Amino acid sequence: MAGQMKLLLGASVLILATVPCWSAPTVAGTTNLVAAENGGRIAKFSSQAVDENGQPLAVWSVTNLIDGKYVVGSHTPADSYGWRSRGVPAADRPEWIIFELPETRLISRVVVDPTTDDPEFLGRWAKSIRVSVSTEGVDGPYKTVGSYLVVRRGIKQSFDFTPVEARWVKLDITENWGSDFAVELGEFEVYEAIVGDDMLDQLIQRLSTLLDELKRYRDAERYQQHQASIEAVTSRPEPPAEEAPAAQQ
Ligand SMILES: [Ca+2]
């Protein structure tokens, strides 16, 4: 763990050191542009889970992706388990969601939280994703900005790319972690690229992003340690019968 932390800090110093070299310097802002509370909305999507009568299941609704509610450790918001598809995604048949920003903005980062109410071992969480953008219309044309692997851990994961203008952001999910039932995702966030010449402002932005990353890292480590201690306790073997209190009375 100490080694990983050192690596993370080393990388951070490197990031800070490279700031003055950028020809058109930008940093990711701190406002999630697709959050419902910031005016973001879901324009279209491939599917969402339904009940036996074909009615959408609110707890697995696609709108849960931008509701600002997260599954953290053993805590699940009562009305928001994440989003669950109806089908299983594949490279030639992805599950997808189109997010609409209130207006066209220059963006450079998406953040994915794969965590849902279902445990990761069911293999339903999103694994392979592709992000593309359009400024022309909800139906495109779309320009791909990147394809990414979402690791199988219940933590927020950031993906940065060269700043690009976007009004609609399309998320294609081409693979889950092995389930033949559905694909799931907890939350999806989009961040603006802030262009500026003020080095101090940029440094502050960069450091604040870095602090967020470190906090997420620390929380994830604590969560893992907590889980490990729970597993250690629950997997403790039963004491032999002769040592049981009942046998001593
Ligand atoms: Ca959510």
Question: In the chain, where are the structural domains located?
Answer: 27-195
Task: Match 């870095």 to its residue by tokens.
Answer: 210
Distance 90 CA to ligand 1 centre (A): 23
Rounded-to-integer distance, Cα 166 and Cα 221, Å: 34
Rounded-to-integer distance, Cα 53 and Cα 55, Å: 5
At residue 22, what is the residue type? W
Query: Given a cut of 90, is residue 4 above it in pLDDT?
Result: no
The mean per-residue pLDDT over the stretch 112-135 comes to: 97
Distance 239 CA to ligand 1 centre (A): 42
Query: Given a cut of 80, is residue 59 above it in pLDDT?
Result: yes
The mean per-residue pLDDT over the stretch 67-77 comes to: 93
Distance 32 CA to ligand 1 centre (A): 13
Alpha carbon 237 to chain centroid distance?
37
Distance 82 CA to ligand 1 centre (A): 5
Please tell me the least confidently modeled range out of 13-27, 136-150, 183-197.
Answer: 13-27
Distance 17 CA to ligand 1 centre (A): 35
Both tokens of 40, joined, read 């973001």
Give me the pLDDT at residue 11, please.
Answer: 53
Distance 154 CA to ligand 1 centre (A): 13
Give me the pLDDT at residue 249, please.
Answer: 44
Q: What are phi and psi of 230, to 5 degrees?
A: -65, -45
Distance 60 CA to ligand 1 centre (A): 9
Specify the pTM.
0.72
What ranges make up the beta strands (E) of 135-156? 143-149
Distance 40 CA to ligand 1 centre (A): 13
Distance 85 CA to ligand 1 centre (A): 14
Contact 173, 129 (CB under 8 A): yes
Distance 61 CA to ligand 1 centre (A): 9
Nearest to 157 by CA among 94, 70, 216, 103: 216
pLDDT digits (tens, 9 = 90+) for 181-206: 999 999 999 999 987 666 677 777 77
Distance 67 CA to ligand 1 centre (A): 5
Distance 229 CA to ligand 1 centre (A): 27
Mean pLDDT (the chain, rounded): 86
Distance 65 CA to ligand 1 centre (A): 4
CB atoms inside a 10 Å sphere around CB 158: 16
Peptide bond into 119 cis (omega under 30): no
Neighbours of ion ligand 1 (CB under 5 A): 64, 67, 69, 187
Q: What homologous superfamily does CATH list for 27-195? A: Galactose-binding domain-like (2.60.120.260)
Between these two residues, 222 and 53, which has the higher pLDDT value? Answer: 53
